[in-house]
Amino acid sequence: MIKKYVLLKILILVLIPINGWSVDKECFPPEMIPDKLFPTIKLETSMGDIEVELNRMRAPISANNFLRYVLEGEYDGTIFHRVMPGFVVQGGGYTKDIEEKTLHENVLNESGNGLRNSTGTIAMARFDDPHSATRQFYFNMNNNTSLDPNSRSWGYTVFGDVISGMEVLEAIADLETGYSEDLDAEDVPVEPVLLIRASVKE
CATH number (domain holding residue 176): 2.40.100.10
Residues 6+ apart with CB under 8 A from 79: 91, 94, 95, 96, 189, 192, 193, 194, 195
Domains identified in the chain, total number? 1
| Confidence (pLDDT) at 29 | 86
| Confidence (pLDDT) at 124 | 98
- Where residue 98 falls among pLDDT bands split at 50, 70, 90? very high
Q: Phi and psi at residue 167, in whole multiples of 5°?
A: -65, -30
The answer to whether residue 186 is domain-embedded is: yes
Burial of 39 (0-12, 13-18, 19+ CB in 10 A): buried
Inform me whether the pLDDT recorded for 13 exceeds 80.
no
The answer to whether residue 40 is domain-embedded is: yes
* pLDDT tens-digit map of 121-160: 999 999 999 999 999 999 999 999 999 999 999 999 999 9
Higher pLDDT, 3 or 95: 95
As a whole number, mean pLDDT of residues 104-116 equals 96
| Confidence (pLDDT) at 171 | 98
The answer to whether residue 8 is domain-embedded is: no
* pLDDT tens-digit map of 51-88: 999 999 999 999 999 999 999 999 999 999 999 999 99
Of 77, 83, 120, 116, the C-alpha closest to 95 is 77
The answer to whether residue 168 is domain-embedded is: yes
Specify which residues 40 forms β-bridges with.
Answer: 53
- Report the mean per-residue pLDDT for the chain: 89
Which pairing describes strands 177-180 and 185-189: parallel, antiparallel, or unpaired? antiparallel
Instruction: Give the number of other CB atoms < 10 A from CB of residue 85.
Output: 15
| DSSP secondary structure code for residue 146 in this structure | G
As a whole number, mean pLDDT of residues 176-182 equals 96
| Confidence (pLDDT) at 137 | 98
Of 3-12, 58-67, 71-80, 187-196, the poorest mean pLDDT is in: 3-12
As a whole number, mean pLDDT of residues 159-166 equals 98
- Where residue 195 falls among pLDDT bands split at 50, 70, 90? very high
The answer to whether residue 2 is domain-embedded is: no
The answer to whether residue 13 is domain-embedded is: no
Cα 83 off chain centre by: 15
Helices (H) and strands (E) in the chain, counts: 3, 10
What pTM was estimated for this model as a whole?
A: 0.87
The answer to whether residue 12 is domain-embedded is: no
Specify which residues 162 forms β-bridges with.
Answer: 52
The answer to whether residue 172 is domain-embedded is: yes
Of 141, 107, 136, the C-alpha closest to 121 is 141
| Confidence (pLDDT) at 27 | 72
Domain that holds residue 52: 21-200
Percent of the chain with pLDDT over 70: 87
